[in-house]
Structure 1
Amino acid sequence: MNKAQILTMFVLLHLASIFAIFPERIISATSKGHWEPITILFLAELLVLWMYLKALSQFPGKTVVDICNESLGKWVTRLIVLPMLIFLYIELLLLMYFQSVEIKAVLLQRTPPAATSALFIILCFYAVWKGLNVMIRASIGLCILLMPFIFFSMMISIQNFRISYIFPIWDSGMSFFSHSDFYVCTVILAGFLFLGMIPSKQRLSFGKAAAAVGIIFVFALGSVYVPLLVFGQETVIHLQYPMLMASDTIDLEWVVFDWLPSFYVVASSALGVLKVSVLLWMLVALLHQLFMPKINRLWVLSVVCFSLYGISLLIPDINALNSYLYLNSFFCVYSVIGFPILVFLAAQWLRKKVNT
């Protein structure tokens, strides 16, 4: 496991969330100046990412749990980690359900949802069982295989663009701050949390991480503006899968699969498996380390997977997903903004204790 592999994983985890829910949520949050909420989200990520990496760089070889335990004690650490555990569990549930619905809608229309969900959770179980190091190394192969498909699916729609749909380009009132969908979009920032769970003495520098955030920012803009420039705000706001529908507007007979969205769905589903696996690994690691240290980690993983699978089958339809997304946005904002700030403060406190 080296820095290039970790950086690749960092990018892919962000892209998994971007292609899952980001375009429709940003488009719902504002009807103009869509680049504004996107820019604000990524500026916020740069700030908390700097604090997160700063705290980790001060204590090489320690995880965020180690830093908080030594600075705040185990009970306080459990208290501040608990909301993040809730976020991880609900996010895993939502991602599993969303990916299963997308796969069924595009690739496996006649397959029961229980079967697609079972296959999805089995793949994630196996990945977590093999460990984070294997997932990080596998991210290089996934990047080489998937990124051409994703880039091609995004760029092929350019010929259908209507530049007039980009206007108005400024939302002077920044009305998106009062829209709950904007806060749902903070889930894309969760792609950096795994960095604090790796007990490595060679941490990513903020400069390299910021450059990666810049690349992700371009993809985030593209995921919103590609369907927006194809359909326009009045139409795209009603689409459940705007990026998927944008790629479906092009008819290319020379493509191996005559339905271009198949490329996009396969690629985004693979990214979904990767993100669910990493988040599941984080959830199991935190549960085992802080709450269930005497229970075998494989048993913890098994119970979590069975519960996720069972509850996912109880979700009635995609509309119910919205209520869970809005509920989870509170825990998400805490996990991606509040928790890194607390880790940074705990690291400063621990540093003072060590120096004295």
Structure 2
Amino acid sequence: MKAMADKNLHVMLMYVISHLGLIFFMYPGNVISSTEQGHWLPVLIGVSIHFLFITIYMKGLSYFPKKDIIRIYAGIGKWTTIFFIIPIFFYFSMILLITVRAYAEIITIVFLSNTPLWAIMLLLISISTYIAIKGVETIFRTGLLLSLLFLPVIIFIFFTSFQNADWRYIVPLDADLGFLMKRTYFESFFAFSGGFLFLGFVQPYFSYDRKYILWAGAFLIPFFLFSVYIPVLTFGQATSATTFLPYVIAVDAININWLMFDRVTMFFLLSLICFIMLYISLVSWKAVRIANHYLPAIKPVKLLLSLSTLVFISCFFIPDWRAVEQLFWWNTFLRFYILVAVPLSLLFFGYRMKRKSKHENM
């Protein structure tokens, strides 16, 4: 029982820190710019869709115990490789490219303005690659360590960020569905779609109880909601909509007299960047798992180094932040395909296999 509990804890924490690394940077700005009032509704719709498809995803995986999604799709037929495995691999590659380039730009803008962009990208990808080389067990142990070190910091800063809130800005609470036609709202789903796919890759290594993942998802709901509302309550809708990284700006306005450090923003950002590097390592490991399945003659380490080098070189072909935003938009279509198609397909194939097995036993 103890070993099972330990695995549940590792998987829960990896789920939490993967999403926390994605929530606080671009997600608030995307939601705030998608509507002028009633921000709770776009957040609620996003969270509901997330819970729906993660529940379907885990239910589908439950039909294939001790199998990852690579073996599941490979065992069904070659056409599933075309419709699911190849898009998943391409999606992971796009995530690596966009995440490394975007967060390197954010680090440069926020607190390392004199550091060359290539040096920050090299640091992000080299540390992430090193962790990924060590394997999934090391990734999850590192996730446990980072959670113990930085989760208390994130939670403390999250609650202190209410310091400058003016609750009159919460009204009006009326909302309309106009945000459903906004590009920025669709882009905000990057915070929901990429963080749970690892559950389908760790089944041969870890077992976990589905209810713990749902509890972890419930734990994240206040972070999704108030990452949007804290900038609005601090600066108002009109100002928040014009700021770059509104939640980071709101955190930068925190003043704690009894704290020996002048700015808590630095600790907040460093904590999140550590989460992002671990997230990059996890995505790299998943992408290499797919590549190694179809290229078994090449060692995983060589595949990982080749993928990381290719991502690093590709980052230089993205000239500025406008190009990063364009890549975000192009990746949105693939993101929704993965979000919807993978969970539904696993549920369909699992249910079909169960019915077929039941019919044969009769």
TM-score (structure 1 length as normaliser): 0.94
**Partner Cα distance (1:319, 1:149) in 2:** 32
2:315 match: 312
Identity %: 27
**Partner Cα distance (2:154, 2:167) in 1:** 22
> Deviation of residue 332 (structure 1)?
0.6
TM-score (structure 2 length as normaliser): 0.92
The match for 2:120 among 116, 128, 134 is: 116
Which secondary structure does the structure 2 equivalent of 1:61 belong to?
coil
Deviations 1:313-354 (A, max 9, x none): 221111221111110011111112221111111212222333
Instruction: Kindly indicate whether residue 312 of structure 2 is the aligned counterpart of residue 302 of structure 1.
Output: no
**Partner Cα distance (1:240, 1:292) in 2:** 42
Aligned residues: 353
Report if aligned partners of 2:25, 2:247 keep a CA contact under 8 Å in 1: no
**Partner Cα distance (2:302, 2:204) in 1:** 26
1:27 match: 32
> Deviation of residue 282 (structure 1)?
1.0
**Partner Cα distance (1:253, 1:201) in 2:** 47
Report if aligned partners of 2:179, 2:185 keep a CA contact under 8 Å in 1: yes
**Partner Cα distance (1:42, 1:199) in 2:** 25
> Deviation of residue 211 (structure 1)?
1.4
Paired AA for residue 281 in structure 2? S
Report if aligned partners of 1:106, 1:262 keep a CA contact under 8 Å in 2: no
**Partner Cα distance (1:256, 1:298) in 2:** 44
Deviations 1:174-224 (A, max 9, x none): 111111222212222221110000134864333222211111111111211
**Partner Cα distance (1:341, 1:9) in 2:** 23
Instruction: Kindly indicate whether residue 15 of structure 2 is the aligned counterpart of residue 10 of structure 1.
Output: yes
> Deviation of residue 170 (structure 1)?
2.4
Compared CA separation, residues 20 and 283, structure 1 to 2 (3 A): farther
**Partner Cα distance (1:147, 1:170) in 2:** 34
Listed as ranges, the matches of 1:129-144 within 5 Å are 129-144=133-148
Deviates more, 1:96-105 or 1:332-341: 96-105
> Deviation of residue 136 (structure 1)?
0.9
The match for 1:128 among 122, 125, 132 is: 132
Aligned CA RMSD, in angstroms, stands at 1.7
Compared CA separation, residues 201 and 318, structure 1 to 2 (3 A): closer
The match for 1:271 among 272, 275, 286 is: 275
Which secondary structure does the structure 1 equivalent of 2:96 belong to?
helix
Instruction: Kindly indicate whether residue 91 of structure 2 is the aligned counterpart of residue 87 of structure 1.
Output: yes
> Deviation of residue 252 (structure 1)?
3.3
**Partner Cα distance (1:237, 1:8) in 2:** 32
Instruction: Kindly indicate whether residue 74 of structure 2 is the aligned counterpart of residue 64 of structure 1.
Output: no
The match for 1:105 among 87, 106, 109 is: 109
**Partner Cα distance (2:340, 2:20) in 1:** 19
> Deviation of residue 107 (structure 1)?
3.0
Listed as ranges, the matches of 1:1-356 within 5 Å are 2-71=7-76, 73-171=77-175, 173-189=176-192, 190-200=194-204, 203-289=207-293, 291-355=294-358, 356=360
**Partner Cα distance (2:265, 2:88) in 1:** 34
Deviates more, 1:36-45 or 1:147-156: 147-156
> Deviation of residue 20 (structure 1)?
3.0
Deviations 1:40-93 (A, max 9, x none): 11211222112211122222111122222223x134224322222222111211
Compared CA separation, residues 20 and 274, structure 1 to 2 (3 A): farther
| Unaligned ranges ≥5, structure 1 | none
